[in-house]
Each structure stands twice: as C-alpha cells, then as structure tokens.
Amino acid sequence: MVFNTGAALLDAIVLAVVSREPEGTYGYKITQEIRGVIELSESTLYPVLRRLLKEECLEVYDMACAGRNRRYYKVTERGRVQLNLYEGEWRSYSAKITGLFEGGVKNEQI
C-alpha cells in the first residue's frame, strides 16, 4: 500500500478487530485479520496493543492453550467509546476523500 497508516488509524483498526470477539482475541490472530486488509508486522502490532492497554482501551488476560499461556486482548468500555469516535471520524474523512477523488467536494475542509 502506498499510503502510510498513522497511529490513530492503527488504533482504530486494532480496536475494530478486537471488538468483534466478545471474549477477546490474541495477538497472532489480530495480526492475521489485519493483514487481510493492510500490511502489518507483529513488530508494529505489539506497540499498538501496549499503547491501547496503557490508555485503558484494552484489557489483557492469559488463557492456557496447548500447554502454554496465550495472551488475550479484550476491548474495555473506554475502548468501545474510542472506537465509536474513530468510526464516526473515519466515515466523515473517507467520504470527503472519496468525494474529492470523484470531483464532488468543493470548498470543504478535509
């Protein structure tokens, strides 16, 4: 992809993926789902997860899997509020960019 993915967009994408699983999901699965849409390495994902944990948008717990612990991430109420904000901003932003490409946006600030 030729477009850079900024921190806020990565946060939004991760929150969207994690929020689909009520019981949470683990890092490798998050990476695989996101890779279906954009290029993302695990070395990029884990700092995003740590930031969202620090901001209390995610919570973490461990669960045994095949004889070892797997770390699961789950969206908090604060994370759901943030995701709703991101979704609204994304809809507005993407509509303006699409309109610009299609020649329909004039004199509007992006």
The whole-number average pLDDT for the span 82-103 is 94
Residues 1-57 pLDDT 10s? 667 788 899 999 999 999 999 999 999 999 999 999 888 888 889 999 999 999 999
Which pTM value belongs to this model? 0.86
- Cβ-count burial of 30 within 10 angstroms (0-12 exposed, 13-18 middle, 19+ buried)? buried
Q: What is the pLDDT of residues 47-88, one digit of tens each?
A: 999 999 999 999 999 988 888 899 999 999 999 999 999 999
For the cut 60, the answer to whether the pLDDT of residue 92 exceeds it is yes
For 96, residues 6+ apart whose C-beta sits below 8 A from its C-beta are 105, 108, 110
Smallest CA-to-CA distance from 73 within 29, 12, 103 is with 29
For 7-101, CATH number out of 3.40.50.1860, 3.30.460.10, 1.10.357.10, 1.10.10.10 equals: 1.10.10.10
